[in-house]
Amino acid sequence: MKIYTKTGDKGQTSLIGGRVDKDSLRVEAYGTMDELNSFVGKAMTELDPAKFADLLVDLEAIQNELFDGGGDLANVMKERHYKLSDEPIEVLEKRIDELMEEAPPLEKFILPGGSPASATLHIARTITRRTERLTVTLMKAEEDVPGTVQRYLNRLSDYFFVAARIVNARLGVPDNEYVRSAKVFRTEDKKKKD
């Protein structure tokens, strides 16, 4: 089997159920999701399995869910059966809540960085937001774009933010606070006192 087909040499690509120009909004959305998936893979190579076994399990599931979501965005068949369901969104919410219990208190905006894996997870977070923006634009432009993908991406960016902080915390690397940030987040203890 040859990896190259030459079918895209004139600037078109195949979807599930049709062909479109390679610069179509649909291709841009699922292509950006593929870019995101690559950075998730990079983050996984930077995590020590002894310290981050739970995050590695999360990230492996996320890679598969991103592949499902990309396939859903690439599906233009008349009768569409989508793979990504609401269940992974609920799992992400549960994991975010669990990781927030472990995370150090947060009062100010932070800058991406710290350890290499944390920085990569922040890159994944920003690409997730870009993918979400493209998906929302696609939802406005075309009918029958699965809203589950957008909801999943919205939750996923929150997961990456928390996971990046957990990586730094477990490695003993402090978050890099934005120096001109006011105190914009309030810890639960402070909320209870107010």
The Cβ of residue 90 has, within 10 Å, a number of other Cβ atoms equal to: 11
What pLDDT digit, counting tens, does each position of 58-113 carry? 999 999 999 999 999 988 768 878 999 999 999 999 999 999 999 998 888 999 99
- Cα dihedral 92→160→60→94 (10° resolution): -20
Tell me the average pLDDT across 125-145: 94
pLDDT at 8: 67
Q: Where do we find the tokens 């690397």?
A: 173
What residues are paired with 12 via a beta bridge? 21
The Cβ of residue 147 has, within 10 Å, a number of other Cβ atoms equal to: 11
| CA 60 from centroid of its chain's CA atoms | 12
Number of H helices, E strands in the chain: 6, 4
Q: State the pLDDT confidence band at 150, using cuts at 50, 70 and 90.
A: very high
**pLDDT > 50? residue 194:** no
- For the chain, give the mean pLDDT: 89
pLDDT at 23: 72
Q: State the pLDDT confidence band at 12, using cuts at 50, 70 and 90.
A: low
> What is each CA distance from 20 to 5, 14, 81, 129, 188, in whole angstroms?
16, 7, 20, 24, 50
pLDDT at 21: 64
pTM above threshold 0.75: yes
> What is each CA distance from 104 to 47, 73, 94, 101, 179, in whole angstroms?
19, 37, 18, 8, 18
